[in-house]
């Protein structure tokens, strides 16, 4: 089982299928995107988060359950609602985001009740996956709860995967972000950083140097994502196998992470797992939204 920690939000994105002309309502969020892809690939995935009790929250629950996510560890907050974000894209498919998330239910996911059930699940899981955004939205006590999960899963023989997905606006200060980033790297077994994020957090912009920085802190497996250039993994640059003209790059890194982790959990080599990540990311950037509907040409069956 994979435990994924993070926030799922309502998503407004442009597209021909919009209910309101020019816009469609869906859902997304960095770790949620990865969780859905992992479930579509056949993994058992438990999503740790919180939603409200409003109609939008209940709709999200139904949609995520329909995707195969285990929501037994997802809390309900009667006083808060899910966050909302809107995606706008330029002519090259590069996206920008506008967020309404400061009072989202997910910020209290570890404060709504005791977390004995989450700790118990971590003791049985094969992998825990979270990101810098997972940590950014939480207060200090919530961050401590995530690190307690890391300790539990590792002491029981499981592994921790961490994506340093950095959004400066979510953090109290750069200093706090860097300190939390260093703490998360120190408890990770699989690192999934992106060059731009690491440049902001560590000052490094060279993939080899980023790889070394993570490994010096105990991370045994590191994949440095380089956008359209591919990634650096296992001592070499791994280019994207086929260039795709992007429609919307939202969720590309999340899809890559899912494809990579799925292949690694199934015994794939690092090189083959990188290819799986590239294939899934390529599918996503050819469509609008962070989690495109699984169409007939989706690669899930071939990657499973």
Burial of 79-111, coded b for 16+ CB within 10 Å and e otherwise, reads ebbbbbbebebeeebebeeeeebeebbbbbbbe
Rg (CA), the chain: 18
pLDDT given for residue 290 in this prediction: 78
Q: How far apart are the first and last CA of the chain?
A: 15
Listing DSSP states for 92-113 in one string gives TS-EEEEEE-TTBGGGGTTTSS
pLDDT given for residue 18 in this prediction: 44
Q: Which of 97, 109, 90 is nearest to 247 (CA)?
A: 90
Q: How many Cα atoms occupy the beta-carbon half-sphere of 301 within 13 Å?
A: 5
pLDDT given for residue 15 in this prediction: 53
Rounded to whole angstroms, the Cα distance separating 29 from 168 reads 16
pLDDT given for residue 295 in this prediction: 83
Q: What is the pTM of this model?
A: 0.94
pLDDT given for residue 181 in this prediction: 99
Report residue 33 as tokens: 């995107």
Does 19 score more than 70 pLDDT?
Answer: no
* Mean of pLDDT over the chain: 94
The CATH number assigned to the domain holding 223 equals: 3.40.1190.20
Q: Which of 279, 277, 295, 275 is nearest to 287 (CA)?
A: 295
Query: 232, 208 in Cβ contact below 8 A?
Result: yes
Listing DSSP states for 195-221 in one string gives HHHHHHHHS---HHHHHHHHHHTT-SE
pLDDT class for 88, splitting at 50, 70, 90?
confident
- Helix (H) or strand (E) run with residue 270 in it: helix 270-285
Rounded to whole angstroms, the Cα distance separating 4 from 131 reads 9
Rounded to whole angstroms, the Cα distance separating 77 from 102 reads 15
Cα angle value 36/37/39 (rounded, 5°):
65
Range with the poorest average pLDDT among 92-96, 103-107, 131-135: 92-96
CA 228, distance to chain mean position in Å, is 19
Distances (CA, A) of 96 to 211, 251, 300: 28, 12, 27
CA 206, distance to chain mean position in Å, is 23
Structural domain of 271: 2-303
| pLDDT tens per residue across span 119-135 | 999 999 999 999 999 99
Does 17 score more than 50 pLDDT?
Answer: no
Find the Cα–Cα–Cα–Cα dihedral 78, 28, 168, 202, rounded to 10°.
120
**Quick one: average pLDDT of 138-147?**
98
pLDDT class for 250, splitting at 50, 70, 90?
confident
**Quick one: average pLDDT of 226-240?**
95
| pLDDT tens per residue across span 262-303 | 999 999 999 999 999 999 999 999 888 778 888 888 999 999
Query: 146, 119 in Cβ contact below 8 A?
Result: no
| pLDDT tens per residue across span 143-175 | 999 999 999 999 999 999 999 999 999 999 999
Q: What percent of the chain has pLDDT over 90?
A: 81
Report residue 184 as tokens: 């998360």
Q: Which residues are catalytic?
A: 254
Report residue 21 as tokens: 């002309």
pLDDT class for 90, splitting at 50, 70, 90?
confident
**Quick one: average pLDDT of 243-258?**
89
Report residue 265 as tokens: 């959990």
- The total domain count for the chain is 1
């Amino acid at each position: 089982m994979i435990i994924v920690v993070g926030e799922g939000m309502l998503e407004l994105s442009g597209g021909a299928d919009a209910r309101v002309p020019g816009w469609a309502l869906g859902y997304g969020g960095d770790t949620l995107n990865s969780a859905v892809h992992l479930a579509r690939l056949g993994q058992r995935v438990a999503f740790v988060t919180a939603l409200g009790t409003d109609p939008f929250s209940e709709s999200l629950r139904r949609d995520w359950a329909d995707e195969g996510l285990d929501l037994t560890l997802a809390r309900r907050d009667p006083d808060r609602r899910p966050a909302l974000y809107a995606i706008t894209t330029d002519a090259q498919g590069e996206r920008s985001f506008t967020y309404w998330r400061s009072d989202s239910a997910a910020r209290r996911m570890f404060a709504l009740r005791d977390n004995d059930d989450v700790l118990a699940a971590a003791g049985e899981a094969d992998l825990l996956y979270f990101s810098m955004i997972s940590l950014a939205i939480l207060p200090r006590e919530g961050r401590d709860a995530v690190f307690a999960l890391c300790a539990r899963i590792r002491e029981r023989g499981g592994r921790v995967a961490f994506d340093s997905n950095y959004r400066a606006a979510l953090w109290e200060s750069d200093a706090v972000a860097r300190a939390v980033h260093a703490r998360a790297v120190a408890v990770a077994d699989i690192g999934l950083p992106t060059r731009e994020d690491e440049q902001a957090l560590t000052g490094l912009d060279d993939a080899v140097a980023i790889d070394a920085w993570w490994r010096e802190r105990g991370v045994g497996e590191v994949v440095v994502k380089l956008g359209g250039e591919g990634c650096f993994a296992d001592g070499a640059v791994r280019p994207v196998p086929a260039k795709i003209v992007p429609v919307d790059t939202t969720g590309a890194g999340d899809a890559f992470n899912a494809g990579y982790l799925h292949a690694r959990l199934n015994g794939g080599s690092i090189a083959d797992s990188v290819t799986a990540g590239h294939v899934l990311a390529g599918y996503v950037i050819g469509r609008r939204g962070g989690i495109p509907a699984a169409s007939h040409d989706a690669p899930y069956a071939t990657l499973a």
